[in-house]
A and B are shown apart, each in its own frame.
Chain A
Amino acid sequence: MTTTTDLVSYEDALASYDPVMGLEVHVELGTKTKMFCGCSTALGADPNTQTCPVCLGLPGALPVVNATGVESAIKIGLALNCEIAEWCRFARKNYFYPDMPKNFQTSQYDEPIAFDGYLDVQLEDGEVFRVEIERAHMEEDTGKSTHVGGATGRIHGASHSLLDYNRAGIPLIEIVTKPIVGAGERAPEVAKAYVRELRELIRALGVSEARMEMGQMRCDVNLSLMPKGADTFGTRSETKNVNSLRSVERAARFEIQRHAAVLSSGGTIVQETRHFHEDTGSTTSGRVKEEAEDYRYFPEPDLVPVAPAREWVEELRAGLPELPLVRRNRLREEWGISATDMQAILNAGALDLIVATIDAGADAASARKWWMGELARSANESGKALDELAITPAQVARVTELVAKGDLNDKLARQVIEGVLAGEGTPDEVVEKRGLKVVSDEGALTAAVDEAIAGNPAVADKIRGGKVAAAGALVGAVMKATRGQADAARVKELILQKLGVEG
Chain B
Amino acid sequence: MPGITREEVAHLARLARLELKPEELDHFAGQLDDIIGAVARVSEVADQDVPPTSHPLPLTNVMRADEVRPSLTPEQALSGAPAQEQQRFKVPQILGEE
Contacts and interface: CB of A to CB of B under 8 A. Distances in A.
A220 B97 CA distance: 26
B61 A98 contact: no
Given A48-B77, A96-B17, A163-B88, A64 B62 contact: yes
B61 A306 contact: yes
A384 B46 CA distance: 66
A153 interface: no
Contact of A163 (B11, B62, B89): B89
12 contacts: A39-B69, A49-B71, A58-B80, A67-B63, A67-B64, A146-B88, A156-B95, A162-B90, A162-B91, A163-B90, A294-B15, A304-B59
Nearest to B86: A162
Given A47-B74, A156-B97, A305-B55, A98 B89 contact: yes
Interface string A41-71: 0000011111111001010000011111110
B88 A160 contact: no
A158 B95 CA distance: 8
Contacts of B78: 48
Interface of B: 11, 15, 17, 54-55, 57, 59-74, 77-78, 80, 85-95, 97-98
Nearest to A304: B59
Interface in A165-211: 165
A48 B68 contact: no
A450 B90 CA distance: 86
A158 B85 CA distance: 15
Interface SS, A side: loop
A97 B17 CA distance: 12
A96 B89 CA distance: 16
B88 A158 contact: no
Nearest to B56: A301
A161 interface: yes
Contacts of A52: 69, 71-72
B16 to A, nearest CB: 8
A307 interface: yes
Interface in A198-256: none
Interface SS, B side: loop
B66 A67 contact: yes
Given A56-B77, A156-B95, A165-B77, A304 B68 contact: no
A159 interface: yes
A49 B57 CA distance: 35
Interface of A: 31-33, 37-40, 46-53, 56, 58, 64-70, 87, 89, 94, 96-98, 101, 145-148, 155-165, 294, 296, 299, 301, 303-308
Contact of B68 (A39, A47, A69, A307): A39
A64 B91 contact: no
Contacts of A294: 11, 15
A162 B89 contact: yes
Given A40-B68, A160-B92, A162-B85, A51 B57 contact: no
A49 B91 contact: no
A66 B63 contact: yes
Contacts of A94: 15
A169 to B, nearest CB: 11
Given A87-B60, A165-B77, A46 B87 contact: yes
A31 B87 contact: no
Given A49-B71, A98-B91, A296-B15, A304 B64 contact: no
Contacts of A49: 71, 73-74, 77
B89 A68 contact: no
A155 to B, nearest CB: 5
A67 B61 CA distance: 9
A101 B77 CA distance: 12
Given A161-B93, A162-B88, 11 more contacts: A32-B66, A38-B70, A47-B88, A48-B74, A65-B64, A161-B94, A164-B89, A296-B15, A301-B54, A304-B62, A307-B61
